[in-house]
Amino acid sequence: MKGSLKNNLWSFHGNGAVEPIFLAAALTAVAAGQAAERVRLTTQHVDLAVVYQPDDPTNKLAIVISDDDLGVTYPSDQVALVVAESARTELPDDLPPLGLAGDPLWILPQSPEPDLLFLGLSAEDAPPDEFQGPLTLFLRGVTGPGLVFAWQATPGGLDVRFNSRDGFDDSDQTPLAAGSHAHLNFGFTTNGVYELVFEIQGRRAGVETNDFSLPTPIRFEVEPLPPPAETPFTRWQRTQWPGVDDPAIIGPAADPDSDGVVNAVEYALGLDPRRADRDRLPRPGLVETPAGWRLRLEFEHPRAASDVTFNAAQTDALAAGDSWQPVSGPQVLGVVGDRERLVFEVPADGPRKFLRWELELQP
């Protein structure tokens, strides 16, 4: 979340005046560099689907998420595959490498069950006559609170394809014929959020090397999910509004005291979000230094607000295109109690200078 001040643009004139460009100003917070909320797929028939991209010069294969029930395809970073709490079972016997008798395991089965996600693997978009033999789907890595396995049940036992217990190498793979569709059991040893990184490889007819997809992270949410970790900003929200969860009041873009200063900026500057205090916003000024006149913007920042980043930029003229140059800093002038005093400075050279200031609230 990036918070920006609509009158955060100041001009310096050769006559020594410093003035805001936008006089009727308000503070806003706008999304920046923050992923949109993921689509949670819960009980659908969903595939990790291979996409063949013959015109792509670099990656002719890709992996997407296909909701077969709705006929919708998603980029992998826009969805979360949900493993419901009802998927939890206890192993009836020792079943290496899955675990020992009595160990919990959350299983997405290779056969459909109405209250669980039915997860498949699809290479139906890959034309069989374009490839020499089957494609290969690799599991390259797992991050999360537990271990992950994928297998097929056979009369002879478990045919394990992916096994994170012993690390990752080229043995963590499953073949997938071009034009085909398959299902595996996926098992997770505990609840929480996992990221599984997949890669698909295949060799086209008449070509001597394999085509690769980019490593593709897929998010799995194994329920019950633990409560999200409290961030400095969410701690501030809880302190300011105990028991309140309405984003129109406590959200970073909200302005409950109607002073034109949104909560993200109130938080970053240590202002009071329940009392109008716009007059405490920072303003730049001219200072004379041994190196000449400087345009300086000083402001206080609570040290507890450690998830805030401040940036500034300067330009000599407001013109079409991006003529803004970043300003180094901010520099720390000093620390008093629980606050630090920060400063951005630029040379006050030329007939006019424009200074822009913004803050970014990390998720």
Share of the chain above pLDDT 90, in %: 69
DSSP letters of 175-188?
A: EE-TT-EEE-EEEE
Residues 188 and 130: beta-carbon distance below 8 Å = no
**How far, in Å, CA of 279 to CA of 27, rounded?**
13
- Residue 279 DSSP SS3: helix
Q: Report the DSSP beta bridge partners of residue 334.
A: 341
| Gyration radius of the chain over CA positions | 28
How many residues are recorded in the chain?
A: 363
**How far, in Å, CA of 195 to CA of 98, rounded?**
19
Q: How confident is the model at residue 303 (pLDDT cuts 50, 70, 90)?
A: very high
Backbone phi, psi, residue 227, to 5°: -60, 145
Instruction: Name which of 26, 35, 33, 23 is nearest 5 in CA terms.
Output: 26
Amino acid 301: pLDDT: 95
Q: Give the predicted TM-score (pTM) of the model.
A: 0.67
250: left (phi > 0), else alpha (psi -120 to 50), else beta?
alpha
Amino acid 251: pLDDT: 92
Amino acid 317: pLDDT: 78
Amino acid 320: pLDDT: 59
Amino acid 30: pLDDT: 36
Amino acid 137: pLDDT: 97
Residues 253 and 265: beta-carbon distance below 8 Å = no
Q: What is the DSSP letter of 237?
A: H
Backbone phi, psi, residue 78, to 5°: -110, 0
Q: How far is CA 298 from the centre of its chain?
A: 31
Amino acid 347: pLDDT: 86
Instruction: Give the β-pairing of 45-52 and 118-122.
Output: parallel
Residues 344 and 356: beta-carbon distance below 8 Å = no
Q: Report the DSSP beta bridge partners of residue 222.
A: 83, 192
**Residue 354 scores a pLDDT above 90:** no
Q: Is the peptide bond before 363 cis (omega within 30 degrees of 0)?
A: no
**Residue 219 scores a pLDDT above 70:** yes
Helix %, strand %, coil % of the chain (to 5): 10, 45, 45
Cα distances from 206 to residues 130, 133, 264, 287, in angstroms, run 9, 12, 57, 71
- Range ranked top by mean pLDDT from 10-14, 32-36, 237-241, 277-281: 237-241
Instruction: Give the β-pairing of 27-30 and 352-361.
Output: unpaired
The structural architecture, per CATH, of the domain 2-26+232-361 is Sandwich (2.60)
The beta strands (E) that lie in 118-277 are given as 118-122, 135-143, 148-154, 157-163, 173-176, 181-183, 185-188, 192-202, 211-212, 216-222
Interacting residues of 133 by C-beta distance below 8 A, sequence separation 6+: 203
Residues carrying CATH 2.60.40.10, the chain: 2-26+232-361
